[in-house]
Structure 1
Amino acid sequence: MNKTILLMENKKTILDAYMHLLEDEGYQVYPAASLEDAKNLIEHKNIHLAIFDIRMVDEDDPNDISGLLLAKEPKYIHLPKIILTGYPSYEYVREVMGATENGIPAAVDFVSKGEGINKLLDAIEKAFAQQIQINEMLKFHWTNEGPVSFAHLASLLITEEQTSAFSDVCGEIEDLFRRMFFAYNQVNFARLIWNRQDEVCLEVYAYRDGVEEQYLITLGQKMLIDSQKTCFEKLAPKSFLSARWEKRFESMHYAIIQWAYPGINLQNAKLFTNFFIEQTEKTVRSSMETFFTTALPAWHQPKSNNTVMNSDCRSVWSPRENTKTLALEWKAILDKMTLLYKNRISLTALPDQGNLLFELPNGKRYLFPDPVHYYSEMDFPEWAKDDIVPGIGINHTNRLLVDGFQIIIADFSNLQFAPKYMDYIAMENSIRYELIDNTNLQSLLDFEENLAKLRDLSENVNASNVEPEFRKAWNVILSIRQAAAEQIDPDPLPYFQYLLTEGVRQLMNVDAEVHYSPRELQHWLHNLGTTSILCKRLAEKKEKIHQPARNITNSGIEIDFNKHEVRVNNVLKELTPTEFKLLAYLASRKGLLCTYDMIIKEIFGGEIADIQTEKSRLTTHILRLRKNIEPDPKNPIFIKTISGEGYRLDNNG
């Protein structure tokens, strides 16, 4: 490995002399006779150490500290520097050796030209040993599962401006790994977990004295990696122990973070996409249930610093603030997509009606509300403004790994404040658009129409009437919605509103000038159909949304539907959405038997596929409800069990 040094000196004779002396010592030297030369070399060459003269503009001007100012520029603070000057002073030493705003000194050493070459060589050797620390003896092993070389990694990350310096980019990336694993003997590169423009995630195995350590490494443009680290530090809950970042290093263009996953065997962990395809529906649902009931609630704790996000839900989630601009952009997208794909689908906007007419090549026609038009006029209820929490923001299934029944987050770059529903919706959309293996648009629209008919998020509808290739996706999506019902609210209205909002964002996130692949078009059309169907469903519910429910008072139990509160003997009780709904149903039939079948259909909805499973589920909720409202849950006075038949809320509790 060549150790590279940038040497900046405005006197050519001195520059040449020092350059030859350093080259004789085995260093690769890049000479810079001006500030501009130095900047250009730093930004286009893989520089390990810089040596700066202080006076770079006017050697005779005692106020010229241009070299010093360059050393202190935040853009170059990552680069270790030695100040070499013929005008040493205590003031200069203090200025460059003191910590900057980033906590990093502008220079690591200060050498007077009068002290001779040996003093400079000692300072260089010390800098490489203490500040730069590149493991020259580290061995790399490339498996056939992921990237095959540093050139391969560079090709995934390099920008157009960097293409002329490709070999330097390769060296820059290699040095980051040699610094990250300075105390190790070997690093094995396994899977490329995910990659997107300017950023990748790798599975690596590091060896030190024969002991293996497993990590995920995120590597990419510095701003992106730092954003990921900042988001994790600000938003990850303290109780989140399944991942932690351990080290971070940076170069001129890139940064690298080492993520540890205690207790996880990364070799056994599958990408969620593969896990979904390979495993049974029951196994997939069990893993997701664990994730939604244990991991996700830990993230969804309100933070005290999210007041800005709470201010206006629409400003957070609207693709455009100006609805007129939104309408014009949407019309341009529709016109272009219709023109480009006229042989696959006909889209006709009916602005007077606020509708879209779909016509498939087989003659099948659908008339749906125009989702963008509907969205622009949709009113978000007041509760939406108070529902903002830290969210994971998983928008692709390959950002997740599964080890046994534990789902692992492998990407923290999308952490953000968002409504609670958005993590559930992101996962549902990933299943819908990434894992359904069907390209028949009519079948997809029929699937979405059936999903939109659900009266309640907790509804468990038998999949026997769903086409076979859709059944796993159908049941997994139902399990996601049931988790949202349990953790947030079973009412489908807010869930569908947020689902529509995210759908509109994606519909607008296209470039009408780009000719998309058939698969990308399929996703866009699927999304258009999904959001249009949601609009139809929301429109049907519109009249019922704001109807105030009648409060119920029953023998010490008071149920206030507007406030969503329950009081027992004037004491406020904290109930889950399902418990509230269950108590309200029993109270609406006070004194009357509510059979198991009646309660299950009302509370959980749909057909009863397995009565014993549903009865067990109901019993669990009854026990929790009794624990909340009964003075003595083991001897209930309100909710009575009618053996073998069901339950009854007594009049004289």
Structure 2
Amino acid sequence: MPGGRILFADNDETFRTTRARFLTGYDIVHASSAEEAEQVLQNQWIHLAILDIRMQDDAEEQDVSGLLLAKQDTYRSVPKIMLTGFPNYRDVREALGPLLDGLPPAIDFIAKQDGPEVIVEAVEQAFARYVRINWELDIQSNDRHPITFPSLVMFMETSLEGELLSQRARELEDLFRGLFYDKSQITLGRILWQRMGHVALTVFAFQAGTLPESFVVVFGQHATMLQATQRYQTFAPKTQDKLGTVLNIRKETTHFAVNAYTLVNADLESVQTLADFYKIVPDKLFHTSLEYLFQTSLTAWHQNKKIPENTKTLASLYDERFDSISYNALTEIINILRHQASSLDIYIEHDAEFLKVHIYGQVHTYPDPIRVLQRQPVIEQPVVLFNTPGTLSGDNILTDTSGQIWLTDFADAGLAPLLWNIVALEAIIRFDWTETSDLRALYDMEHSLTASSFSKLDMRDIAPPLRKPVRAIQMIRQHATRLVGAELLPYHIGMLYEAANRLARFNPNAHYPTSEMVRFIHILIAAAMLGEMIQRDQQHPTAGKTPEERGIRIDPDERAVWVDGVRITLRGQSFDLLCDLYNHANQLCTRRDLVERVFKQVYDETDRSQINRLNTAISRLRDQIETDPGHPRYLLTEPGGGYRLTLPK
């Protein structure tokens, strides 16, 4: 059985060394002052500390330097035994007093006059009751994803090396041995994600006579992990234990802390990150997971609570979230990217106010996206905050083929703008998951995303490799319109900040492969187009549109159709069907009416082919005129076998 490491701190060297000889089987680290003891606690992994209350002057009653060290919150996870040659009631009460969270300053209080057997017994009890490390735990690593504790530490503290790295690795290993104290074996699975000094991996735990258990274990540096835990406990919905991610066990050491989460109804071996899931499954399965995320997971977190933000603008809230954005650095980055673009058959000009893109023999002028951000775009509506799980990514969202979603990163949980998570998801798909190095194809995609109807995208000019992300974006936007309707300026502002945040990660001194350079130039072009949309929306806000612009308008002579002020293309039967419904707007049109007026057939209610043809035509028309065909605003189905085109009067 490995022995534990004990810090023995006392300015009386004779007492310290003689008592330490009785602590056989333990690794004793000596310190003669509070300062030395603190250095040990900072740099070494200590299981238990034995501290003299008076470590400066035994004769000075006011000397409580050891007690002050014991009370430091930084070292609260280390159990401590206090020593003194001059015990008094006040010191005992202060040392053993309870804390609301974590251990008290001391777990035991021993007079130096007591014999060595007292301190030996106190140490044994401390290891049994408070240290609680499973020295016999068999820790295995998945052969396909080999993991070592030094490598895990390097994810959190990249500059460590030598003995300090070894100490931290042992501390992290003991943290896992304590977390799974009642198990006989654990297998470290795969690393799911790493962010801001936090790492998440799957762990499978075994104990004879019980069913195997699986966990998503998130660990990181002590202070930031405690903050993440507090955010989860404060903001997570009460329904988490029924449909989501449940905090099962937590433990901490001096430098690290860990949370073990249980995923409700999950087979952790078949669960995948949303990023991996997106790559391998058909659109339908991916869209099912997105629907669950929006309708179940995020809805539960929002808790139907709207909190008005009266002191900050939407732009300032995004500035706080993306505090790494430096506008001066972005200017330098844009100049580098525009030079790189010329080698990829796209020429970009940039000055103080505009960014010009030369493509397809034409010049497209956009406002400088940096200037748009610096001018802090303003929306007329008050900013509303909702409870959110924090920053979502393709790696910290887990799913499976059933479509259920599990969230795993709560470091930023709390209040955020309504569209925060939805905008982030589109940005991930739009900027991170597009798989092409064809800048012209990416330009066409961005043109469709910014020039088409917001949630009914024109995909005719979209290259085949980009149709999957565009279809996913369309679904995300359909959900956004359910939340905010036609008030889209907040969405575009959020997307511009997402683009700028990615541009800010560009390293001017690094060498990038062509595919990654294309990605950054794509984001720059997207940012310019978004800046143009924001300026246009501010000059012509949706809220100022007339009722006619917010509905449907038809010019039968030109065979032209406008939906919410945006012209769309309808051909053949779809145009004829809409015209008939438009001419009978706000009236019930029966199946008989439509078959006879549009199809020019005698209606036969027993003819299933007529009904199927009409159903198909209605479905196709909804796809073309509704922002969310599953929740139509205009073309409604009426009970009893008819339809109604509902338009503003």
Structure 2's unaligned 5+ residue stretches are 551-563, 565-580, 595-613
Over aligned residues, Cα RMSD in angstroms?
Answer: 3.6
Please, which of 485, 490, 500 is the counterpart of residue 489 of structure 1? 485
* Residue in structure 1 matched with residue 10 of structure 2 by the alignment: 9
- Contact 1:52 1:67 (8 Å CA) reproduced: yes
Distance change in 2, residues 1:531/1:120 (3 Å): same
- Relative to the length of structure 2, the TM-score reads 0.81
State the alpha-carbon separation in 1 of the partners of residues 635 and 384 from structure 2: 24
In the TM superposition, what is the alpha-carbon distance from 1:274 to its structure 2 partner? 1.8
* Residue in structure 2 matched with residue 174 of structure 1 by the alignment: 173
1:53 to 2:52 alignment: yes
Q: Which moved more, 1:342-351 or 1:166-175?
A: 342-351
In the TM superposition, what is the alpha-carbon distance from 1:445 to its structure 2 partner? 1.4
Three-state SS of the structure 2 residue aligned to 1:451 is: helix
1:333 to 2:330 alignment: no
1:372 to 2:370 alignment: yes
- Contact 2:217 2:259 (8 Å CA) reproduced: yes
State the alpha-carbon separation in 1 of the partners of residues 134 and 20 from structure 2: 25
Distance change in 2, residues 1:286/1:309 (3 Å): farther
Q: Which amino acid is the alignment partner of residue 42 of structure 2?
A: E
Please, which of 421, 427, 434 is the counterpart of residue 419 of structure 2? 421
Distance change in 2, residues 1:201/1:519 (3 Å): farther
% same residue:
26
* Residue in structure 2 matched with residue 194 of structure 1 by the alignment: 193
Distance change in 2, residues 1:526/1:341 (3 Å): closer
Please, which of 435, 438, 441 is the counterpart of residue 437 of structure 1? 435
In the TM superposition, what is the alpha-carbon distance from 1:156 to its structure 2 partner? 2.2
- Contact 2:252 2:258 (8 Å CA) reproduced: yes
Distance change in 2, residues 1:538/1:26 (3 Å): closer
* Residue in structure 2 matched with residue 400 of structure 1 by the alignment: 397
Distance change in 2, residues 1:492/1:321 (3 Å): closer
Three-state SS of the structure 2 residue aligned to 1:30 is: strand
State the alpha-carbon separation in 1 of the partners of residues 583 and 256 from structure 2: 63
Aligned pairs (5 A) from 1:234-245: 234-241=234-241, 242-245=244-247
Distance change in 2, residues 1:493/1:55 (3 Å): closer
Q: Which amino acid is the alignment partner of residue 19 of structure 1?
A: A
Three-state SS of the structure 1 residue aligned to 2:182 is: coil
In the TM superposition, what is the alpha-carbon distance from 1:519 to its structure 2 partner? 4.8
In the TM superposition, what is the alpha-carbon distance from 1:342 to its structure 2 partner? 6.8
Aligned pairs (5 A) from 1:436-475: 436-457=434-455, 459=456, 461=458, 463-475=459-471
State the alpha-carbon separation in 2 of the partners of residues 494 and 623 from structure 1: 22
Aligned pairs (5 A) from 1:600-619: 611=617, 613-614=619-620
State the alpha-carbon separation in 2 of the partners of residues 221 and 396 from structure 1: 21
In the TM superposition, what is the alpha-carbon distance from 1:21 to its structure 2 partner? 2.2
Q: Which amino acid is the alignment partner of residue 215 of structure 2?
A: Y
* Residue in structure 2 matched with residue 296 of structure 1 by the alignment: 298
Q: Which amino acid is the alignment partner of residue 53 of structure 2?
A: I
In the TM superposition, what is the alpha-carbon distance from 1:85 to its structure 2 partner? 1.7
State the alpha-carbon separation in 2 of the partners of residues 249 and 238 from structure 1: 22
Aligned pairs (5 A) from 1:155-170: 155-160=154-159, 163-170=162-169
In the TM superposition, what is the alpha-carbon distance from 1:374 to its structure 2 partner? 2.5
In the TM superposition, what is the alpha-carbon distance from 1:187 to its structure 2 partner? 0.6
Please, which of 287, 290, 294 is the counterpart of residue 289 of structure 2? 287
Q: Which amino acid is the alignment partner of residue 520 of structure 2?
A: W
Q: Which amino acid is the alignment partner of residue 316 of structure 1?
A: L
Distance change in 2, residues 1:311/1:465 (3 Å): closer
Structure 1's unaligned 5+ residue stretches are 553-560, 562-576, 578-585, 598-607, 628-632, 636-640
State the alpha-carbon separation in 2 of the partners of residues 646 and 148 from structure 1: 61
- Contact 2:337 2:520 (8 Å CA) reproduced: no
Three-state SS of the structure 1 residue aligned to 2:113 is: helix
Please, which of 271, 274, 277 is the counterpart of residue 272 of structure 1? 274
Distance change in 2, residues 1:200/1:364 (3 Å): farther
In the TM superposition, what is the alpha-carbon distance from 1:480 to its structure 2 partner? 0.8
Aligned pairs (5 A) from 1:94-243: 94-100=93-99, 102=101, 104-160=103-159, 163-196=162-195, 198-209=197-208, 210-241=210-241, 242-243=244-245
Q: 1:291-340, CA deviations, whole angstroms, 9 ceiling, x for partnerless residues?
A: 22222222223557x56686332221137999xx9654443333455567
Q: 1:111-166, CA deviations, whole angstroms, 9 ceiling, x for partnerless residues?
A: 11111000111100110010111111211111124342222222322342565412
Three-state SS of the structure 2 residue aligned to 1:114 is: coil
- Relative to the length of structure 1, the TM-score reads 0.81
Distance change in 2, residues 1:327/1:183 (3 Å): closer
* Residue in structure 1 matched with residue 606 of structure 2 by the alignment: none
* Residue in structure 1 matched with residue 256 of structure 2 by the alignment: 254
* Residue in structure 2 matched with residue 68 of structure 1 by the alignment: 67
